[in-house]
Every structure is written in structure tokens, then in C-alpha cells.
Amino acid sequence: MTVPRIDGHTRVIAHLGHPTHSFKAPLIYNPWFAASGTNAVVVPIDCPAGALDSLLPPLMAAPNVLGALITMPHKVGVVALLDEVSRTARVAGACNAVKRAADGRLIGDLFDGEGFVRGVQRKGLVLKGASALVVGSGGVGSAIAASLAAAGVAHLALFDTNGTASETLSQRLRAAYPLLQISTGKSDPAGLDLVVNATPLGMEPGDPLPLDVDRLDARTFVGEVVMRERVTAFLSAAQARGCRVQVGTDMLFEQIPAYLEFFGLPVATPERLRELAALDGPPAAPRASPPPRASGAR
């Protein structure tokens, strides 16, 4: 992989979230920057829950910081720190991209949902008039729900173990899309056109599945947001039922062109980004051998 140029003129995009071990964006953006001669770099910064309020404002005040990619657990909380957000971000109540305007205002937008929708549409799924279930009403789930509504789905079911989160999201959706049929409180996927796991379940080995896969119909399209594994246990179970699927990284590749436009950087197609991406990464360094024990040590 070509290494991006980093010098005193480099424009920095911070990637804020926790934990950072699952971050994929730097492995996609940075190869593109290197290939296109763009003097910019995406840098992962570990930002645990509760740290964003103290970290984001001074970070964004640095003149060479273009902005930030925002991921779990900050997509919802970051909205309160911004001066302006897009309509999609307002409806979703979440944000995953922040930039500083010329006058110093912080402006936010949301591309998770757009990336997810572009991906399933490019795979042939017709969303206008469709029925969908989104499991998870946090930042990414809210984004996908908002973008599905904008794409014209007729019925949208929302489920979250925190029932208040789903109800709050449903109220914002009803205000923006009064003709949309919305239901909450159930995660039954039977008979639906699209089912989405928008929870972190699947990031760790042994995580439970987000819903009862035995209720999935073979015609149902199943989408995932977890990116740590290309085919999660949930997607594998859905494929065993005969379902078409979209892996989590597809959502990422499809939304990055919109991100690049947002930051005013050269834009690549999803196909070019895939070609250049270094998602496999270099082999892990071998673990160091322990030092030899001194003679006579116990």
C-alpha cells in the first residue's frame, strides 16, 4: 500500500469513537488519498463515552483539522455540540461527520443511512413501497431509518431494547414523513422486504443474534452494519435461510464518496475505493519472546 504524504500541509480528519480496533475507514480513505495525491489523512482517536464534549471543540479549532468522522458511541451525543446539522441528521437525531465552516461554526451531516440505502439499491432492492425492520435505534439505526423513509418505504418497524429510543425516533419520523406507517416494540422479521441489524451485536464472538432468524423469509433482504467480520453470524444464518445480504463494509464504501464531497476532497467511486482499500492489512507482528530467566531464578 502506498503511504499517504504527511507533512506540515497535511489536512487531518479525526476518526472519533470507542473502541478503535474495529475502525475500517482509515484503511479505505488513506489509500485513496495516497493514490490521488491528496495531502490528507484519517487518524483514529480513541474517544470513550463521556469524553467527546471535552475533546471535539479544541480538536476542531486546529487550523489543519478538516473535520471528524464520528462513530460509536458518539453519533447521537455529538449533535448537541454542533451549530448546524442537515435535515437527515435532524430526523435521525444523530451525526457521523463534522466540519468547521469558514466562520468557525461546526456543521454536521449523516451518511450512514445514505450509504446503506445506496448499497441495497445497487443490489437491486426496490425500496419505494417496501416494508422494513430496523433493529437498533441508536446513531446508525436512526440514520438508516431516516434514509429508508426518504427513499419511500411504506412501512417501517423499529425495535430497540431501549423502547424509549425507538419511540423517540418514531416521533421524529412521523413529523417529517406523515404518510409513513411506523410500528415499534417488535423485532419479528416475518414477511418483510428488508431487515437490518443496526446494533453492535456481532462485534464480539459469542454475541447473541439480534432477532429470531427462524422467522426470516427467503425473499427478505438482510443488511448488517457490523464491520469487524465481513460475514457475521447473523448474515451467515440469513444466507442459510436463502436471503440476499449486504455486509457492513458495503455501507461504508457507498457512503465515502458523499463524505469526500462534504469535506471538499477529491471524490472516488465505491469501486475504486474497494480496489485500493487495505482492509486485510499487513500481517500482525510476532509477539516478542519473554526475556531469558537469570540463572538460578525461581
114 to 16, 92, 229: CA distances (angstroms):
20, 12, 21
149-171: b or e for each residue (b if 16 or more CB lie within 10 Å)?
A: bbbebeebbbbbeeeebbebbbe
CA dihedral 259, 264, 268, 273 (to 10 degrees): -50
> Is there a catalytic annotation at residue 186?
no
Q: What angle do CA 245, 251, 254 make, to 5 degrees?
A: 120
> Which of the following is catalytic: 24, 75, 99, 186?
75
Judge contact between 66 and 40, C-beta under 8 A: yes
Show which residues are catalytic. Answer: 75
